[in-house]
Amino acid sequence: MVGIIVGLALLIFLAFRGKSLLWAAPVCALLVAFTGGLDMFTAYTQNYMEGMVGFVKEWFPAFMLGAIFGQIMQDSGGAVSLTKAVVKLVGRDKAIFASVLCGGVLAYGGISGFVIIFSMYPIVLGLFKEADITRRLIPATIMTGAFTFAMSAMPGTPTIQNLIPTEYFGTTATAAPVIGIVCTIIMFVGPVLWLSWRAKKFRAAGEGYDEPDEMPEEVPDDKLPPAWCCFIPFVVIVILLNVFKMNIVVCLLAGILLSLVFLFLMGKVRGSVYLTNVGETCNKGCQSAVSAIMNTAAAVGFGSVVKITPGFAFLSELVLGIGGSPLIAESIAINVLAGATGSASGGLQIALDALADNFIQMSQTSGIPLAVFHRVGSIACGGLNTMPHDGAVVTYLSYCKISHKRGYFDMFIVAGAIPILANIVAIILGTIGIV
């Protein structure tokens, strides 16, 4: 048990120091294997690799197609076009509200949160300049839309965090819709109120908008594709997934094909070229997919070694034996593992891979539907994963040229603390019978 704790602590430390999980995770797994009395060679070549490869086998098509779809929307200007359309609809005077809503629309449409920052940053920068809001709040604002309610709470979202539980519980992407909607409202309204209050506080203290050293290039409106032809693929993905119950791979493939057709057709009609090199766009999408899935799979491999140690059986009994609702045990396990790995999907996969059978049994004995376990688990993985070493946190702060000291606190509040609050609400609702 001590070895597991030390292994997790070492993994957090190495990830926080920016070390690649591709070597850090197996090193920590070997430490766990050694202290657990396991054969280290077997633990790595069989248990670790089986967990890692199994995750890649299961989810790589979805990662790859999702990354390509997001890259198409970024390279063509489609994501920017949609963002501008939402801002125009809501109003430029509502900078924070409009920015959060834009991020949520893009994430719910199937675009990775790691891609959203590149598309939205120039526009949000302009909105914050008009509203005289400090740039230190930009990473937290965009992250709210990209990585909170649209990632885990909204019923029907095509994100990996909402799809992983379906493989274990036999549920659908729209599981526990009432709980999902309530938590979506909390994770949308809460951060908007917090960020608006913080903006006023900073402005009152004399800290308003500050010009960055380098201004990102903003694409002129006449060079962007029409918003409607970019929005249709989003709608098709969501409808195919939730109405026709198609596999996410089929849904994303349909979205990619539709986006290419619309972009090329509209380009011909308007005499513009929105995608200059489709092959290069696909290359960039695949490269980002490989990086994302391999880091997550490395963390899953670590979990595969942990779960076969004698200490894990003790820890499982400790967590599962927590009094009250069984949803509490699920939330604690997923939050801790997501925080340790710095990955929402990684922590969720590890926890369900090891404990899904226990949760299914708890569902049967408690009478709480598996749909509730699905939704609570999805929301839980988006809490403590927002640690300083989280890949999204590092990417957002780096791209916005904001230090951890200036920007991280607000990121943790909107993408860590408030989702944990929503998770508690979800537990209460699920326990009293609301689905």
Give the pLDDT score at 265.
76
Per the structure, the count of domains in the chain is 1
Q: How confident is the model at residue 11 (pLDDT cuts 50, 70, 90)?
A: confident
Q: How confident is the model at residue 315 (pLDDT cuts 50, 70, 90)?
A: confident
Q: What contacts 143, CB < 8 A, 6 or more positions away? A: 103, 113, 392, 393, 396, 411, 414, 415
Output the six-digit token pair for 293: 């899935």
CA distance 350 to 209: 42
Q: Which helix (H) or strand (E) is 375 found in, with range?
A: helix 370-380
CA distance 125 to 25: 37
Give the pLDDT score at 14.
83
CA distance 267 to 137: 36
pTM for this structure? 0.89
Task: Summarize the confidence of residues 361-383 as an average pLDDT.
Answer: 96
Mean pLDDT computed over every residue of the chain = 90
Q: What digits encode the pLDDT tens for the residues 292-303? A: 888 888 888 998
Q: What digits encode the pLDDT tens for the residues 186-206? A: 999 999 999 999 999 999 999
SS3 331: helix
Task: Summarize the confidence of residues 362-370 as an average pLDDT.
Answer: 95
CA distance 321 to 334: 15
The domain of 209 spans 2-431
Percent of the chain with pLDDT over 70: 100
SS3 318: helix
Output the six-digit token pair for 330: 């699920």
Task: Provide the H-helix boundaries in 38-131.
Answer: 40-42, 49-75, 78-90, 95-108, 113-131
Percent of the chain with pLDDT over 90: 59
SS3 418: helix
Q: Which residue would you say has higher pLDDT here, 174 or 16?
A: 174
CA distance 238 to 243: 8
Q: How confident is the model at residue 221 (pLDDT cuts 50, 70, 90)?
A: confident
Give the pLDDT score at 316.
80
Question: If you ran DSSP here, which 8-state letter would residue 114 be given?
Answer: H
pLDDT at 214 > cutoff 80: no
Output the six-digit token pair for 416: 């860590």
Q: How far is CA 248 from CA 110, 172, 296, 373, in A?
A: 10, 11, 19, 21
Q: What contacts 401, CB < 8 A, 6 or more positions away? A: 212, 213, 214
Give the pLDDT score at 391.
77
Q: Which of 56-70, 80-94, 96-110, 217-231 shows the lowest per-residue confidence on average (mean pLDDT)? A: 217-231
SS3 20: coil
Provide the 10 A C-beta neighbour count for residue 383: 27
